[in-house]
Structure 1
Amino acid sequence: SGHSRRSPPHARHRVPSNPVQTDLRQHIERNRARHESSELETLRRRIAELESRQRAPEEPPQRASTSAQVYLEADSPLTPELTSEPVPGKVKVPQIWLYDGTSDPDSHLGHYTSWMDLHGASDALRCRMFSLTLGPRAQKWYHSLPPHSIWKWQQLRSAFRSHFIGAQVCLIPKESLANVTQKDDESVKDYIARFNDRVRNMEPCHPETLLVMAIAGLKPNSIFRWTLCQNKPNTFQEFFARA
């Protein structure tokens, strides 16, 4: 027929490939492979580094340098025999108020001694832990002691007491209670509160003596005093309860 036939698709002429484009694609593929290989190697090194850190033992905590330890020992008022004795792990710092140098030193020593007796502390341990119970002013005194001048607790105790003896509380004689009497316009509770204030600052006194003095100080013609004389309380605490 007069119509021209079209060639089937597979019979068409193919465009020959460009050698330049082929080389470029191959170059890109090689670079990509090298890049992936490099990233994989870097990742492997990081994993190995992390694993080695996890396997490595933990470093012990840093200690004070030897020179610092020597300085502290040389500066301490305690002898090396005292400072070298280890502190048992079971011993706790005394749970008492820090001594500020303005209160009774005997009271502080009493609280400290009771705490250390409770824990069975040795003579050396009493010396080593005593400074932990001192406030800034008393710490200044402690560190002013000559180096290595203290070799036993009794010596440190005496030095502390002698230095702060001026802050010792002077107790009121018990005979002064005879001067504490109920005022005309004073209630029983106010009188007892004032009586107690005097007792707290007074030298030790037998409870029965306190009871007699407290009743004697009431107003002579008060109903409360008359009631107490009719039915005398047995203890000082019972007297307070009935007031």
Structure 2
Amino acid sequence: MPTLESFDGTRDPLDHLETYKAFIYLQAVPDKIMCRAFPTTLKGWAHLWFNKLKPDSIENFEELSKQFIGHFIAGQRYRRPATHLLNVKQQKGEPLRDYISHFNTKMLQVKEMDDKVALTAFMGGLQTSKFLFSLSKEASTSMTELMVRARKHMNAEDAMNAQKNKDDEAKRLDKKRLASSTREERESKYKKFSNSQADRSSRRPVSPGRYNNYTPLNTSVEQVFLQI
């Protein structure tokens, strides 16, 4: 028996049932075994519900499936019509990758998918862009083909953005180097000017002061004081 997440009654019973059948069909087991193996995928309230079924009340797996869905129908997700996709719009500035992810999520909620409606809704929700121009010029015939083209466009966008970031970084480094070089030049010129001024000051002759030279005395200082 393949590993299967147990159902506790709080999730979509249809999802669990379809997943169980996909797993069990690979084993090519008879209908009775499908019925007996089914409770092994249940737990909690769901397992309690199975144990309360009346003995011999289930004739085949189809009957078991109907009772299972009928009992846990409240947990089943509401399936929307394909026209619901017409409400999905790409927001201004929203990357194509995010729009596709949002659109695919909404597609999972559609009950019966119609490729034509999905194609129309997808293109109608796109913002004006080179990708929309490409789709308008050469329309895709299926969602699979459209997604392949979208993947190529996104890869090209990623490559261009990477190159743009690389160029911007190179410009930033060049600007930084230029600013650094200009600052070093200013500092070098200032240093040369300062050295030149200092050198010029050291070579300038000293002007003789007013009282630097005195006439030699022809008598003693004591005699001069006595005369004064």
Same fold (TM over 0.5): yes
Structure 2: distance between partners of 1:233 and 1:118: 35
Q: Determine helix, strand or coil for the equivalent of 1:171.
A: coil
Q: Which residue of 2 aligns with 1:114?
A: 22
| Closer/same/farther in 2, CA of residues 231 and 155 from structure 1, 3 Å limit | closer
AA matched with 2:113? C
Shift in Å at residue 160 of structure 1? 1.1
Task: Give the gaps of 5 or more residues in structure 2.
Answer: 155-228
Q: Which residue of the partner structure matches residue 137 of structure 2? A: 230
Q: Does 1:161 align with 2:69?
A: yes
d(CA) in 2 for partners of 1:228 and 1:154? 45
TM-score by length of 2: 0.58
Question: Percent identity of the aligned residues?
Answer: 30
Task: Note the C-alpha offset of 1:150.
Answer: 3.0
Map 1:79-228 onto structure 2 (within 5 A). Answer: 93-219=1-127, 221-228=128-135
CA distance in 2, matches of 1:225, 1:142: 52
Matched to 1:238, the amino acid is V
Distance of 1:227 and 1:124 partners within structure 2: 55
Q: Is the 8 A contact 1:96 1:112 kept in 2?
A: yes
SS class of match (1:137): helix
**Cα distance between partner residues in 1 of 2:94 and 2:7:** 38
What runs of 5+ residues in structure 1 fail to find an aligned partner?
Answer: 1-92
**Equivalenced residues, count:** 150
Q: Is the 8 A contact 1:102 1:167 kept in 2?
A: yes
C-alpha distance in 2, partners of 1:223/1:236? 14
Conservation of the 8 A alpha-carbon contact between 1:208 and 1:236: no
Q: How many angstroms does 1:119 deviate by?
A: 2.1
Comparing 126-135 with 227-236, greater Cα deviation is found at 227-236
User: How many angstroms apart in 2 are the aligned matches of 1:210 and 1:175?
Assistant: 8
Matches within 5 A, 1:10-89: none
User: Kindly tell me: are residues 236 and 205 of structure 1, through their superposed partners in 2, closer, same or farther at Cα, counting changes over 3 Å?
Assistant: farther
Tell me which stretches of 4 or more aligned residues in structure 1 moved more than 6 Å.
none
Counterparts of 2:69 and 2:44, CA distance in 1: 17
Supply the AA of the counterpart residue of 1:240. Answer: A
Q: Which structure dedicates a bigger proportion of its chain to helix? A: 2
Aligned-residue offset at 1:113: 2.1
| Letter of the 1:131 counterpart | P
- Relative contact order (C-alpha < 8 Å, sep 6+): which is higher? 1
Question: Aligned partners of 1:227, 1:152: CA distance in 2, in Å?
Answer: 53
* Aligned residues of 2:82 and 2:110 also touching (Cα < 8 A): yes
Q: Which moved more, 1:119-128 or 1:159-168?
A: 119-128
Cα deviations by residue, 1:151-180 (Å, 9 ceiling, x for unpaired): 432332222111111111111221121111
Give me the TM-score of the superposition, normalised by structure 1: 0.55
